[in-house]
Amino acid sequence: MIAYLAGLLSVAMLPGLGKVWLLLLAGASASLFKAARRQAFLFIAGVLLASIWGAWQLSHRLPDQHARSDVFLSGTLISIPATSSRRQSFVLKIDSIDSQEVALTQLRRLKLSYYDVAPVLQAGDRIEAVVRLFPPRGLSNPRAFDTEKRNLVQAVDARGYIRDLRGHADAPPGLLSFRQYLSHQMDEAFSPVTSATLHALVLGDRSGLRDDQWRLISETGTAHLMVVSGLHIAVIAGVGMLLSRLVGYLLLGAGVSSLQVRRAGLILAAAFAFGYALLSGMAIPVQRSLIMVLIFLAGEWTLTPVSGWVRWRFALILVTVVQPLAVTEPGAWLSFGAVALLLWILAQRRARNGFVFAWWRLQGTLFIGMLPVTAALFYQLGFLAPVANLLAVPLISLLVMALPLLLPLALTTGSETLTLLMSFLIDQFWWGLAAGRDLLGLYMALPAPASIAVVLATVAALWWLQPVPLRWRWPALMLLFPLLLSKPARPGPGEFDVTIYDVGQGLAVLVETSEARLLYDTGPGYLDGGSAFAYAIVPDLKSRALTDLELLVLSHGDNDHSGGAGALFEYLRVEETVSGEPVPGIAAQRPCGSAAINWRWGGVEIAAFQAQVTGAGSNDLSCVVRISNGHCSLLIPGDLGKQGERSLVSRTDLGPVTWLVAGHHGSDTSSSQLFLTRMAPEVVVFSRGAFNSFGHPAAEVVERVRISGAEILDTAVDGAVLLHGGEQCETSVWRSAKRRYWTAG
């Protein structure tokens, strides 16, 4: 079992599938030893399964050379479209594609956007359209969600948008149209909060939950309740089992054998679980949960006892056979870890002290057992979680159990009393979580812990859970101190670290010194009101336990530079804001100005200033920042144009510099020959979006930089760029540092 999982995980850690032969060779070598032969074969089986599956998925991915291809295709919407004021986005299953290119004809699913409000597209609709395609790339940043892996797992082979919708047929009757119907009905019958909650519990769609709700369930350890998981599917299976018991009494009276009644109950429970999984969209986590529940039900089919651990192991094997990359998913480890803890608890023979005590012990055990996992993966400890789950789990379970009856009644009868009651109960659930968090707190943000701290915390958890007297378990808490007292890594005096984030077509740069931190720009905002800040930058800030920012510099008001400011102020407390021009919605902005503003943090000099350009437009108002420790230096000019560059070099002594962020994302309006000559950078970084429509970076600029002898880095190709300024000037890129076989580029 362990050898098989090690084979799967080894492939998942490879930078490319071309290295699989090394793993197979290692397994074959181990098989020469009789004692290790069985484990070697299991390891090889895991390697073969994971590599064949991975190669098959990659063979369908749209290659980079076909980026921005326009094709005519037809397909069926297989997801409920997410809508905003100007966009509809959905997953399309391709039925046919008008192309002779093999790379295009083998595409299976697309993530598409339609930038129009009419017609309103719905799940199950069939469309014909001209679509502009892009490879399924994602942004690549430290600690951020791996979009490219998700696309691989979901068999999404490309993304794009509809250029010309030429045909639209309404969905025929079926599961997809029924899911869409339920979505509409819930939106019309319930308040937004209730509807969003029911969407999550019934349809597996959590897109309606607000950012503050996400933060609330994260900090209270109840996020698992707002996703269709093993708990929800098990509850629905229990409803089927309960119904079978009620009918079974009648069947027994009619002469049906108890074994047949028992098996009929298992079939009904499995049918309920499978039906719920289908209704919720059968996403990958749902598939995983369904397999686990069905395996546990299957163990009850015969009267031969099958232990919970045997079922657990078989479920884990089957899940990884269906989805080999499950070994890299935090959700999978949390699910199987929680079930393992439940099995361990059930195996302990303890004196009965009543239901409340048993339920409290269960929640406490789960919290302690999963503590190292939540700290390592989510950088937090929610000490409120056992209390919140003590109440929330049974309440949500009862709601899920009652939904097969309550929801149809509420939607078909139009009973205002029933809809108000359901809304009231759900509102009280959210209110209770918020009240518990605000009154009790008990939430601790952690920086990304060191490996040794996680190992010691795991030992502490295992020690604490042993069935020994309490006096022998208290010393285990001492092993938690390295985890609880973790401090974020900071540069030493006279040093600075820089992260130039991959935010797409925009810019965001974090500068850290031993004393303070500076964020230059916030990345782009989007038409639907979102921004790249929340998913490209916040995960990294969270891993640093960073909630306070000493200085925010907004180069100017363009959306690709300051579009994430709103999201930033929701997450961070900012002491000082400097801007090249007033940015709406932000109070107390200090103008950058032509006279330099200087800061000295831990031996690092930071200066901010503007060029002097007559009749300057927004770009030439960009606030320019220079960071230096005497050995290494970085210049960030924002969107400064050639005229502004001439102004700077004529009146200031900026160069030479170690690193230069290319102005205006590499546009030919910036990075003049004069500027490059004066700055003489060793490395030039282009911050831009992959396959952007502006043609950034311009070929002329790239050629000028290449002739200058500077190394070229590009966030669209390299992901986030990481700089360290000490006595030595070090440069690295995230996409290479964390490369996996599914990583694009």
Q: What are phi and psi of 506, to 5 degrees?
A: 180, -165
User: What whole-number distance in Å separates Cα of residue 271 and Cα of residue 125?
Assistant: 27
User: What whole-number distance in Å separates Cα of residue 556 and Cα of residue 586?
Assistant: 13
Q: Is the pLDDT of residue 288 over 70?
A: yes
Q: What is the pLDDT of residue 586?
A: 85
Q: Is the pLDDT of residue 137 over 60?
A: yes
Q: What is the pLDDT of residue 432?
A: 87
pLDDT interval class at 353 (50, 70, 90)? low
C-alpha of 46 from chain center: 26
User: What whole-number distance in Å separates Cα of residue 90 and Cα of residue 113?
Assistant: 7
Of 84-88, 124-128, 561-565, 666-670, the range with the lowest mean pLDDT is: 84-88
User: What whole-number distance in Å separates Cα of residue 576 and Cα of residue 556?
Assistant: 16
Contact in structure between 658 and 588 (CB atoms under 8 Å): no
Q: What is the pLDDT of residue 301?
A: 79
Level-2 CATH architecture, domain 496-737:
4-Layer Sandwich (3.60)
Q: Is the pLDDT of residue 273 over 80?
A: yes
> Residue 639 has what DSSP assignment?
T
pLDDT interval class at 745 (50, 70, 90)? low
Q: What is the widest separation between alpha-carbon atoms in the chain?
A: 100
- Residues 596-613 have a mean pLDDT of 89
* % of the chain exceeding 70 in pLDDT: 97
Of 218-227, 382-391, 623-632, the range with the lowest mean pLDDT is: 382-391
Return the sign of the alpha-carbon dihedral for residues 575, 549, 211, 226. negative
Q: Is the pLDDT of residue 70 over 80?
A: yes
pLDDT interval class at 253 (50, 70, 90)? low
Q: Is the pLDDT of residue 560 over 60?
A: yes
In the numeric block, the tokens 């919720």 are attached to 280
100: how many CB neighbours lie within 10 A of its CB?
A: 6
The answer for residues whose C-beta is within 8 angstroms of residue 409's C-beta and 6 or more apart is 415, 418
Angle among Cα 44, 23, 21 to the nearest 5 degrees reads 105
More confident call, 272 vs 263: 272
Provide the b/e sequence for 109-138 (b: ≥16 CB within 10 Å).
bbbbbbeeeeeebbbbbbbbbebbbbbbbb
Name, of 52-56, 365-369, 488-492, the range with top average pLDDT: 52-56
211: how many CB neighbours lie within 10 A of its CB?
A: 12
Q: Is the pLDDT of residue 254 over 70?
A: no
The tens digit of pLDDT for each residue in 424-470 reads 889 988 988 888 877 777 777 888 888 899 999 899 888 888 877 77
pTM of the predicted model as reported, rounded to 2 decimal places: 0.90
Q: What are phi and psi of 379, to 5 degrees?
A: 55, 45
The tens digit of pLDDT for each residue in 171-212 reads 999 999 999 999 999 998 898 999 999 999 999 888 888 888
Q: Which fold has domain 64-172?
A: OB fold (Dihydrolipoamide Acetyltransferase, E2P) (2.40.50)
Q: What is the pLDDT of residue 365?
A: 77
Of 203-207, 312-316, 375-379, 381-385, the range with the lowest mean pLDDT is: 381-385
For residue 142, what are the CA distances in angstroms to 528, 537, 713, 720, 738? 25, 8, 17, 7, 9
User: What whole-number distance in Å separates Cα of residue 97 and Cα of residue 208?
Assistant: 32
Provide the b/e sequence for 559-576 (b: ≥16 CB within 10 Å).
bbbbbbbbbbbebbebeb
User: What whole-number distance in Å separates Cα of residue 571 and Cα of residue 548?
Assistant: 9
Name, of 332-341, 373-382, 573-582, 647-656, the range with top average pLDDT: 573-582
Q: Which is nearest to 726 in space by CA: 633, 607, 632?
A: 632
Paired tokens of 549: 């920012």
Name, of 221-225, 347-351, 505-509, the range with top average pLDDT: 505-509
The answer for residues whose C-beta is within 8 angstroms of residue 71's C-beta and 6 or more apart is 97, 98, 99, 104, 130, 131, 133
pLDDT interval class at 350 (50, 70, 90)? low
pLDDT interval class at 618 (50, 70, 90)? confident
Q: Is the pLDDT of residue 498 over 90?
A: yes
Q: Which is nearest to 82 in space by CA: 407, 528, 524?
A: 528
User: What whole-number distance in Å separates Cα of residue 633 and Cα of residue 649?
Assistant: 16
Q: Where are the beta strands (DSSP E) in 540-692?
A: 548-549, 551-554, 573-574, 577-579, 589-591, 597-601, 604-609, 624-628, 633-636, 659-661, 683-686
More confident call, 399 vs 745: 399
* % of the chain exceeding 90 in pLDDT: 50
The single-letter code of the amino acid at 710 is: A
Q: Is the pLDDT of residue 27 over 70?
A: yes
Paired tokens of 418: 């029933």
- Residues 578-600 have a mean pLDDT of 85
User: What whole-number distance in Å separates Cα of residue 77 and Cα of residue 180?
Assistant: 11
Q: Is the pLDDT of residue 221 over 90?
A: no
Average pLDDT over all residues of the chain: 88
Paired tokens of 103: 């790379």
Paired tokens of 130: 């001209």
Q: What is the DSSP string of 30-56?
A: HTTSGGGHHHHHHHHHHHHHHHHHHHH
Interhelix angle 2-12/308-322, rounded to 10 degrees, is 30
For residue 572, what are the CA distances in angstroms to 28, 444, 537? 53, 16, 12
Q: What is the pLDDT of residue 400?
A: 86
User: What whole-number distance in Å separates Cα of residue 90 and Cα of residue 82?
Assistant: 6
Query: Cis bond leading into 305, ω under 30°?
Result: no
In angstroms, the first-to-last Cα distance of the chain is 34
pLDDT interval class at 356 (50, 70, 90)? low
- Residues 654-672 have a mean pLDDT of 93
Q: What is the pLDDT of residue 462?
A: 86
For residue 189, what are the CA distances in angstroms to 182, 186, 406, 426? 10, 5, 13, 14
Q: What Rg do the C-alpha atoms of the chain give, in angstroms?
A: 28
Q: Is the pLDDT of residue 520 over 90?
A: yes
The answer for residues whose C-beta is within 8 angstroms of residue 188's C-beta and 6 or more apart is none
Of 221-225, 394-398, 436-440, 691-695, the range with the lowest mean pLDDT is: 436-440
Q: Is the pLDDT of residue 611 over 60?
A: yes
More confident call, 630 vs 219: 630
> Residue 383 has what DSSP assignment?
T
User: What whole-number distance in Å separates Cα of residue 71 and Cα of residue 59?
Assistant: 19
Q: What is the pLDDT of residue 724?
A: 96
Q: Is the pLDDT of residue 380 over 90?
A: no
C-alpha of 555 from chain center: 28
Contact in structure between 637 and 652 (CB atoms under 8 Å): no
Q: What is the pLDDT of residue 379?
A: 85
Q: What is the pLDDT of residue 352?
A: 56
Contact in structure between 144 and 539 (CB atoms under 8 Å): yes
- Residues 63-83 have a mean pLDDT of 94
Provide the b/e sequence for 579-594 (b: ≥16 CB within 10 Å).
bbbebeebeebeebee
Q: Is the pLDDT of residue 475 over 90?
A: no
User: What whole-number distance in Å separates Cα of residue 377 and Cα of residue 143?
Assistant: 9
